[in-house]
Amino acid sequence: MKFISTRGKSEVSCSAMAIAKGLAEDGGLFVPEIFPQVSKEEFETMLNMDYAERACLVLKKYLEEYDEQELLSACKNAYSKFEDSDAAPIVKIDENLFIMELFHGPTLAFKDVALTLLPYLLRKGCDISGIKEEVLILVATSGDTGKAALEGFKDADGIKIMVFFPSEGVSDMQKTQMCTQEGNNVNVVAVNGNFDDCQTAVKNIFSSKEFNDSLKEKNVILSSANSMNFGRLVPQICYYFSAYCDLVNSQEISMGDKVNFVVPTGNFGNILAGYYAKQMGLPIDKLVCASNSNNVLSEFFASGTYDANREFFKTISPSMDILISSNLERLIFELSGRDASLTEVRMLELKKCGKYSISEKEKSVLNAEFFANYADEMTCKQTIQEFFEEFGYVLDPHTAVAVDVRNCFVDYSGNNKPTVVLSTASPYKFAHDVLFSLKGKAPNDAFVASDKLALETALPVPEQILSLKSKERRFTRVIEKGETFNAVLDFIAK
Ligand SMILES: *Cc1c(COP(=O)(O)O)cnc(C)c1O
């Protein structure tokens, strides 16, 4: 299957190359030339499969040139790193409300679902594409991608990984997770700035021909583990199918019934995977896009204008503190009827003026598929408290934002179809804020807060958190925004 760029000036002949390259050379994002369909028979077989087998079936539709048996072993290996080898277990909350817990992987965030598999997809992708150079993965992170990517890629053959995070823009636990990372091929640097600064710095490195040429002389090529890479996106499509199968198996729905998915959204990767699942034939009614106070997306859905010129808020759901939502480009491309030149114009406007608009017609298509709203900080904390009181279930702040927007959605639309909220992180990644929401006070130390949260809720502290306590902090470097190029060179020279 061919992969084309959203900006129309670049294409590759297969998924392996799209994954190996990460970003298209024209600055756009790779998208599949068509959306493969999942047949009725395949749905039926998927019902009796475990998570890894379901994932393999969905992945294989795009990853045609990957060997099926090998892909299946890679999935089994990746998902054996999750509790019960299930990357996406479903918890029933009430009649119509389900939570898909995507946080039982090595770093306790949904990004593990893709990043436990991406090293294989990328390594193999390079082999298939005949790329012999060493691969340097550059990651800009709002907290969770960084750790999940480091963990996924640590000690991977022929791959180095470097992570940039906003020095004051991640939770203490996220920082501890990243700065204690083990592995011989990893590097972690804090940047004085916010997530968008980190993301822009990484994008600038990718698009500097001069810099890439100089790397090439050193036998190094760049790739990306951010959700701009199709290899990040495609494993995320799988859990939408898996959730649906689980609901059919537990007789909550019948095959063919429509369900809603609610997604706490930042860079638009997770929810875009849901949109792709729908294009492949999964019976989805509405995709609900939940934002925090950085509500650039919900305003875009309401007004048709994407306007990133606004105050940036640091919230208790830091992985959604994003003003430039990269993957939206892939959706804009679809909305425009795959008009690459129009997409390019809009993305250049965004780069130059921080905003662009879509047509009324596109906006109505958008609103037929999606519902979008946001939850502010007060509401998020209140939701954590009320949800625990009512259901005895502990939400992390990102998932709480989603639960609140789900409630808005039901109030606004009266839509009471079965609804799956994607839970993207363990509450223990944000123990201080979760405990504060429940009790009105909480100790500052993340580990002390975790112990208290466990006492308060009877939810055990995950092993992944406990084991961090004794780990050495290996990375302490803080740089200015302008120093990212040099930081990369320093790392390569090592
Ligand atoms: C990354 C992340 C999100 C946002 O996902 P996108 O794919 O960037 O929209 C939400 N919640 C958590 C916990 C995350 O780590």
Contact call for residues 110 and 422 (beta carbons, < 8 A): yes
Ligand 1 center from residue 210 Cα (angstroms): 32
264 within ligand 1 shell (Cβ under 6 A): yes
In a domain, 368, yes or no: yes
Ligand 1 center from residue 267 Cα (angstroms): 7
330 within ligand 1 shell (Cβ under 6 A): no
Atom of ligand 1 nearest to the CA of 424: 13
Q: Give the number of domains in the chain.
A: 1
Ligand 1 center from residue 166 Cα (angstroms): 16
Ligand 1 center from residue 387 Cα (angstroms): 21
In a domain, 191, yes or no: no
426 within ligand 1 shell (Cβ under 6 A): no
CATH number at residue 286: 3.40.50.1100
In a domain, 166, yes or no: no
Residue nearest to atom 15 of ligand 1 (CA): 144
Ligand 1 pocket, mutate which of 198, 300, 319, 426 (most atoms under 8 A from CB):
319
- The boundaries of the domain holding residue 370 are 86-104+232-465
In a domain, 432, yes or no: yes
In a domain, 92, yes or no: yes
In a domain, 411, yes or no: yes
Check if 111 is active-site: yes
For the stretch 64-73, pLDDT in tens is 999 999 999 9
Ligand 1 pocket, mutate which of 111, 165, 423 (most atoms under 8 A from CB):
111
Residue nearest to atom 14 of ligand 1 (CA): 319
Ligand 1 center from residue 493 Cα (angstroms): 32
Atom of ligand 1 nearest to the CA of 103: 13
97 pLDDT band, cuts 50/70/90, is very high
For the stretch 379-423, pLDDT in tens is 999 999 999 999 999 999 999 999 999 999 999 999 999 999 999
Q: What is the CA radius of gyration of the chain?
A: 21
462 within ligand 1 shell (Cβ under 6 A): no
In a domain, 397, yes or no: yes
> What percentage of residues in the chain have a pLDDT greater than 70?
100
Mean pLDDT estimate for the chain:
95
Ligand 1 center from residue 88 Cα (angstroms): 15
In a domain, 10, yes or no: no
Here the tokens at position 39 are 């047949």
Residue nearest to atom 2 of ligand 1 (CA): 319
For the stretch 323-369, pLDDT in tens is 989 999 999 999 999 999 999 999 999 999 999 999 999 999 999 99
Q: Which of 21, 61, 111, 124 is catalytic?
A: 111
pLDDT for the residue 10? 94
- What global pTM score does this model have? 0.95
Tell me, letter by letter, the H, E, C secondary structure of the chain.
CCEEECCCCCEECCHHHHHHHCCCCCCCCEEECCCCCCCHHHHHHHHCCCHHHHHHHHHHHHCCCCCHHHHHHHHHHHHCCCHHHCCCCEEEEECCEEEEECCCCCCCECHHHHHCCHHHHHHHHHHHHCCCCEEEEEEECCCHHHHHHHHHHCCCCCEEEEEEEECCCCCHHHHHHHHCCCCCCEEEEEEECCHHHHHHHHHHHHHCHHHHHHHHHCCEEEEECCCCCHHHHHHHHHHHHHHHHHHHHCCCCCCCCCEEEEEECCCCHHHHHHHHHHHCCCCEEEEEEEECCCCHHHHHHHHCEEECCCCCCCCCCHHHCCCCCCCHHHHHHHHCCCCHHHHHHHHHHHHHHCEEECCHHHHHHHHHHEEEEECCHHHHHHHHHHHHHHHCCCCCHHHHHHHHHHHHHHHHHCCCCCEEEEECECHHHHHHHHHHHHHCCCCCCHHHHHHHHHHHHCCCCCHHHHCCCCCCCCCCCEEEHHHHHHHHHHHHHC
pLDDT for the residue 130? 94
For the stretch 204-262, pLDDT in tens is 998 899 999 999 999 999 988 888 899 999 999 999 999 999 999 999 999 999 999 99
